[in-house]
Amino acid sequence: MGKLITLIFILFLGLIAYFAVLNRETVTVLVTNNLAYEIPKIALVLISATAGALLMLIIYTIRDTRRLIDN
């Protein structure tokens, strides 16, 4: 099972690297009317994926903590 997960992780990293090579343009991200950042597209994708993963981790941690307390 560990080898399969490692293979999937390596394939995922290869796919991310492929997208990074194809999408070298920058994207302007407006935080407020006066504050804007220019970041590469791949950075925006990685930041979004990381934010989603962290949000799901928080939700599952809260759910599992409730189940542990209830039992």
Query: What residue ranges in 13-58 does DSSP mark as E strands?
Result: 26-30, 36-40
Give per-residue pLDDT as tens, 24-35.
899 999 999 999
Give per-residue pLDDT as tens, 32-71.
999 999 999 888 888 998 999 999 999 999 999 999 998 8
Specify the pTM.
0.68
Neighbours of 19 (CB within 10 A): 13
Average model confidence (pLDDT) for the chain? 91
Distance CA 48, CA 30 (A): 15
Residue keyed to tokens 């970041």: 39
First and final C-alpha spacing in the chain: 30
